[in-house]
Every structure is written in structure tokens, then in C-alpha cells.
Amino acid sequence: MYISKIELLNFGPIKHASFNLYSDKINLIIGCNASGKTNMLAAIYSLFYDDSILNFCSDSELFSEVNITLNNGYNHITKKYSTSSSELILNQFKDIYYFASINKRDHIFFCNNESLRNNRNFTKENIRKSIEFIEASGINNMDMQQLLKDQIERAHRYIYLSGGEQAFINLIWVLSKIPKDSIFIGDSIFCMFDSKTVQFILSIIQNLVGIQFVLLENAYLSSDIKDPDIHIQYLDNDINNETRSPIAFNYSFNFEDKIKIEENHDKDKKIEVINYRIGDKIPEEECRYTEFKEVKGENPCNSIIKNAEIYIISYLNSQVNDTGTILFGISDDKIVKGVNLTYADKDKIRREISELIKQAEPYISPDLYTINFKEIVNGNGILKDTYIVEIVVKSCDSELLYCTSRGEVFIKTEGGKTKLTPTQIQREILLRSKKIKRNKAPQ
């Protein structure tokens, strides 16, 4: 089974887009931020599974449509969407029969960069099998393979991997579990890797026979790809800025909850993955989506609680289509410092941040943010009562402005966050009102 063509009409920000796809090449669709790449993934998911991946807009009078051609034109599937519902259209008996016969959960797989960032507790056997999978592909990266072998031999309760190394192993683990006659659709799965690692992964993918790959990536990647077996297309025009689509990707959707790849039930004890080592310089950069905060002073709890509320509000007000992360215990020059916290301290941080967010207006769902305490290692093992406090904020497309428990309004910027003055608040509300009116305007 493979997709030979996909066409989207008035879907999220996409006014019209059409792509021919190959079964014997890697299909790489390149687009800038907010061009609609993730909405294309959502369209395919919705067609084969359900509409839980979508947000419906009640004030649109338009319709959206997805057309997919399978198996070199032999089968056709269409799905149309209105403001609150959708309709699957199969015009011929052969299409009805084929669609009913597809074992979708075993043959259509989705993966995005967030799912690769998530911690997966491996066993030694899991990691050995991932290394064997790499070696069986015939493509070698001796540095990565030796690193993992060394870590396995030393590992007892935990294994230390950087965020990029963990994402790499997560991706290899996923790829090793995909059977033949399947479709793999990835959204920004290369964003945590350098160009050398990307080329290595692409080489592994090219050796996987019988699997169709459709990869949606940012524009920076195309300049590094010079392979005739990789079919590159661009999503760079016909962006729908004038009319409001009745549907778009639901950014609170969790692929980990919906698409499960069966894991081996090894008897080995699970190994915890730890991403931070004291004194190391982390590879991630500070940007609009990621903030580092070194915690100094004698009362780290209060510092974290106060700043966490402000940054959560800042991210929610920013209307960005990506997850925001605040890392307490990382210095401005990206060095892992850690924060000393007792069990009581951690409980206080969770409880008091939750209480402050409950007092924010308008209401903020607890599902929009998570608080994690990440362990840190040194040369001798795990440091006692020393953590990186990681607060993750989901994207929010609210047309309202959130304020803190003290009635203050902040917005995230590239350089940190900004407290809005009364005049700036009025201007921001006016801009959002104009956007709403523009989206509601008839064609």
C-alpha cells in the first residue's frame, strides 16, 4: 500500500496544494514555518483514523477537502469537512472494499519531533536491538554506535544521552518496528539533528524496502540534500491568509497516546534515560520557544515559582504553533548547573505553580503545561536532590490575552519575555480583533 497523490483544498492555512508521491523514493516536502506542513499530516491522519487531530471552527461558512489516491491511481478516497462534521466519500465498490480491508494501525505510522523528545525507558536489550538494526542496514556511524555500546556496558539503572542522542535512538527504535507494506509520515523529525546525522538517517531509511516515507520538514534542510532517490517538493505558495478554514490541526493532540508501536516485553530491568550531565554544554539554543534560567540565591523554590507563572503566561499569549520549554538550572551560556531541591521543595513548586495558574484569567487548563524534574549525572552517578526543572507549555491559539494572578500581561519574545503596558495591551487586542474580522470576512 502507498499514497500516490494527495490534494488539500482550504485546509488550515493551505488554500490549495497537490503532491505526487513515490513508493520507491523518500518523499520530502519542504515548507517554511506556518506553511501548513503539520496540517497536511493532520489531513492524512484524519482520513485514515478520526477527527480527534483537528480543531473545528464554528464561524466559517466554507468547506475543506482532502483527496488521496492510493496504489498508483487504483483507489481514491475523499473526505470533506464543514464547521462541525466530516464525511468520508468512497465512490466505487473497489474503494469501499479496499478501505475496509486496510489494517490502518499496523500499516500507517505517524511521528513528530515532540514524540521523539519524550523519554522512553529502554532496556539494554532494546538498545542492543537498535544497534543491530543500524548494523543490519549496512550503513555505519561508528561514533554513534560505539557511544551506545559503551553506555550499555556501563549502564545499570540509567543511561546518559543528550536530547539529540535520545531522539536519534527513539527514531531508530520506531523505524525498526515498522513492517513492510506500510506508510510512515514524519513531521519535523530531523529538527534536533545536525546535517551529518540527518544524512545517516536518510541512508538507513533508503535501505528499508517496502515502506513509503513522507517526510515534512523545514526549509533549512533542502540545501543539504543532493540524492536522486529523495524526491523534494515545496509547500511554499497558495497560503490561505484571506479566508478562514473550518478546520486546522489540533496542537494539543498527542501522537504518543494515539499511535502505539508495539515494544518488546524484555525481562531486563528498564534503564532510565538521563539527558543532563553537570557542567556539560547543551546543544539546544535559546529562542522564542526555549528559555534557559540559572537559579541563584538561597530560595530557589520561590524564584522558580514566580518565573514559571510569568513564562507560562508569556508562551500562551504568543500564539506560536510550537511547544514552549523553560529549563531552570541551565545558565545563559548553556551550561548545566542544576537546582538543589528536596522532595518537599518539588512538591511546593508543583502545588504553588498550579495555584497561581488557577488564579490567572481567563481560565487555563492544567493540560496546557507540565512540570518535570529531570535528574542530572556526574562522573560517579546520579546527583542526589539536584535537578533541571523543565516546564513545557503547549501551543495555544487563543484570541484572548491571559494575565497572571497579579493581573499582569506578558508575551514571549526572541530575547525573553515582555510585560505589556496598558497601551500595548490595547494595541494587541486591536490587532487580534482585526485578525478575527479578516478571517470572518466573505470571499
Task: Give me the amino acid identity at 277.
Answer: R
Q: Which of 398, 60, 85, 440 is nearest to 245 (CA)?
A: 60
Domains of the chain: 3-113+183-258 (3.40.50.300), 281-440 (3.30.950)
- φ/ψ of residue 275, rounded to 5: -100, -5
| Contact between 29 and 14 (Cβ < 8 Å) | no
Cell numbers placing 235: 509547500
Which residues on adjacent β-strands are paired with residue 217? 30
290-293 and 324-328 strand pairing: parallel
The pairs formed by 115-118 with CB atoms below 8 angstroms and a separation of 24 or more are 115/170, 115/255, 115/256, 116/166, 116/167, 116/170, 116/171, 116/189, 116/192, 117/163, 117/166, 117/167, 117/192, 118/170, 118/256
**pTM of full prediction above 0.95:** no
What's the whole-number average pLDDT of the chain?
80
| Contact between 28 and 12 (Cβ < 8 Å) | no
Task: Specify the residue for cell string 511547544.
Answer: 323
Q: Which of 173, 181, 114, 118 is nearest to 148 (CA)?
A: 173
Tens digit of each residue's pLDDT (9 = 90 or more) over 208-255: 888 999 999 887 666 667 778 889 888 875 554 555 577 777 766 666
| Contact between 217 and 41 (Cβ < 8 Å) | no
Q: Which of 201, 203, 139, 140 is nearest to 173 (CA)?
A: 201
How far is the C-alpha of 427 from the C-alpha of 430, rounded, in Å? 5
Strand order in the sheet with 86-89: 14-20, 3-11, 64-70, 75-81, 86-89
pLDDT of residue 144: 66
Which stretches of the chain drop beneath a pLDDT of 50? 240, 257-267, 440-443
pLDDT of residue 297: 81
Task: Specify the residue for cell string 535512538.
Answer: 169
Residues 6+ apart with CB under 8 A from 79: 46, 47, 65, 66, 86, 87, 88, 89
Half-sphere exposure of 156 (CA within 13 A, CB side): 3
pLDDT of residue 265: 46
Q: Which of 277, 61, 242, 293 is nearest to 151 (CA)?
A: 277
